[in-house]
Amino acid sequence: MWRHQVAHRAIARGHALRSCLPAGPSAPESPWLLASLAALQDLRHLDLSLCSQLADEGLACLAALQQLRHLFLNGCAYITDVGLACIVSLQQLQSLNFKDCDITDEGLVSIAELQMLQYLNLRYCCELIIVGPMSNAAFWSLQYLDLGFCDQLSDDGLVNVSTLKQLQHLVLTHCDEITDAGLEVLLRCKSCGILPLPTA
């Protein structure tokens, strides 16, 4: 609760708060908190991880945060593709964490043109297949991609991942549908700089 009060006081005094980590799993349920976050025009880092009641409607309030660089939503199970479409205007984003959110390929298409995005965590996004959304044009600056425990991801999906020329770290932990043939596709793409990590 004290973090809520600090944020509220900072807004009231006109302070340029740049990092905010609301406390407690139910923190973003409060309408005043979401409205307060939207008023923090200089906010760079926002961690709403494990805010279990946060849903797509809440993300719509964040569209005003045009200086936001890092957004962490891991464990927010009510965040879906609809919510991703709400943040596509945040062109300064460099890091996104959607671990254990309800994200599909359609959601990836929404955020594909975030030109400064370097880090993307999609671990436990079990509906992902990656049929086409990743290409040379989309996610062109992506350097780190975590697809661990995306159990529908197959060799065909890796073909699309292999087009990411700036990628340096790729996590495929427990992607059980991926075979040696899929990993060989990645290894042949030397220009991509891809480092497949162990699948077990």
Q: Is the pLDDT of residue 163 over 80?
A: yes
Q: Where are the domains of the chain?
A: 1-93
Q: What is the pLDDT of residues 1-43, one digit of tens each?
A: 445 555 555 554 444 556 665 655 545 555 667 778 888 989 9
pLDDT, mean of residues 121-134: 89
Question: Quick check: 171 and 145 in contact, CB under 8 A?
Answer: yes
Burial of 158-178, coded b for 16+ CB within 10 Å and e otherwise, reads bbbbbbbeebeebbbebbeeb
pLDDT, mean of residues 106-113: 90
Percent of the chain past pLDDT 90, that is, above it, reads: 52
Amino acid 22: pLDDT: 61
Amino acid 15: pLDDT: 46
Q: What is the mean pLDDT of the chain?
A: 83
Give every CB contact of residue 64 below 8 A, 6+ residues apart in sequence.
38, 39, 41
Amino acid 200: pLDDT: 47
Question: Quick check: 41 and 64 in contact, CB under 8 A?
Answer: yes
Amino acid 196: pLDDT: 55
Whole-prediction pTM value?
0.85
Question: Quick check: 139 and 120 in contact, CB under 8 A?
Answer: yes
CB atoms closer than 10 angstroms to residue 23: 11
- Residue 188: exposed, middle, or buried by beta-carbon count in 10 A (0-12, 13-18, 19+)? exposed
Q: Is the pLDDT of residue 66 over 90?
A: yes
CA distance to 54, 158, 170, per residue, from 24 (Å): 12, 37, 31
In sequence order, the β-bridge partners of residue 95 are: 70, 119
Q: Is the pLDDT of residue 44 over 70?
A: yes
Which of 87-101, 108-122, 127-141, 170-184 is predicted least confidently?
Answer: 127-141
**Gyration radius from the chain CA atoms:** 18
Q: What is the pLDDT of residues 79-99, one digit of tens each?
A: 999 999 999 999 999 999 999
CB atoms closer than 10 angstroms to residue 135: 12
Q: What is the pLDDT of residues 164-182, one digit of tens each?
A: 888 889 999 999 999 999 8
Q: What is the pLDDT of residues 53-63, one digit of tens each?
A: 899 988 988 99
